[in-house]
Amino acid sequence: MTNTLQFPLAAVVAADELKLALCLAAIDPAIGGVLIEGPRGMAKSTLARGVAELLPGGHFVTLPLGASEERIVGTLDLDAALGEGRAQFSPGLLAKADDGVLYVDEVNLLPDHLVDLLLDVAASGVNHIERDGISHNHKARFVLIGTMNPEEGELRPQLLDRFGLNVVLGSQPQPAERAEIVRRRLAFDADPLAFLQRWAEPQSVLQQRCIVAREQLALIALDDATLDEIARRCFAAGVDGLRADLVWLRAARAHAAWRGAGQIAAEDIDAVEHFALLHRRRHSPPPAAQPPQSPPAASPQTGQAGAGEGQWGELPALPVPMGAQRELPRWPKKP
């Protein structure tokens, strides 16, 4: 369960790009979770915990690296099934995370088959358990948040691709921001109740905005014009498979709901492009197949992509749009 004395998301300094991605995942968990990459000490876990308060259940469940598959998915009591004619289900972490956040720190160190399992359930919203011909299903609709330090090992590309959105925390805060981060942390540690009271109104505004956006989500059409534009850009980016198209489309709709709009606009497509393609844009398509105004083609002499392509943090054809920042709530400096 979420700690009632959790540092409020509205009080987190800077990190606006990450806060936006987390809010979009909270609005539509079907996006498939958020993978946060960055070194230690970047407040990744603080931000992840803050998302729980934006969700209906408010649960925050941490998945330990040493957890077994049974502890994660739950267990079926076969003796009860044979004796009573029904399956006796003991909930696991997935059931406890329903309507909340499932948080995996250092997800790159979790066994691959468990990461695959988590991503399957996060995308479908249903946990299916089967043992000796007896099965059980239950709802497991949660926001999956994984964090990792790339210096400690990478996720396999197949698993990396299955995370809905990806945010890389690479830049250090400016001196003024660093000082404000420490100042707020000290204030929270000295008197958590007083700190929460000071930030109650901004936090309430943020929570209400997510509630309204979730209610608005189903009313926003996943229209053909948006899909065609996203498909064109995914082709130009050379992404493998079609997962990027679907994630990008869902994230654009969530961003439209976040803005309070009734339909997806160009600014919504632009605002989430970086999140959807950062971990998927690996190469350019064959030069002859590229549509007009596509990213630079691979060099026939070297076989390498144009300067800066396909490298972390170097996406000249896919800038993080300023519009995404304009649509963020006004994260207050101080109440």
Altogether, the residues listed in the chain come to a count of: 335
Active-site residue, selected from the candidate residues 209, 233, 243, 259: 243
Q: Hey, which bits of the chain come out as E strands?
A: 34-37, 60-62, 75-77, 88-90, 101-105, 126-131, 134-139, 143-148, 165-168
* Tokens coding 209: 């905005």
Q: Are strands 34-37 and 143-148 parallel, antiparallel or unpaired?
A: parallel
Which residues pair with residue 166 across a beta bridge? 35
d(CA 321, CA 94): 35
Instruction: State the virtual CA torsion across 275, 270, 265, 206 in degrees, nearest 10.
Output: 50
Burial class (CB in 10 A: 0-12, 13-18, 19+), 84: exposed
| 243 classed as catalytic | yes
* Tokens coding 299: 């060099």
Q: CB 10: neighbour CB atoms within 10 A?
A: 22
Rounded to 5 degrees, what angle do the CA atoms 180, 182, 185 make?
105
Tell me the catalytic residues: 243
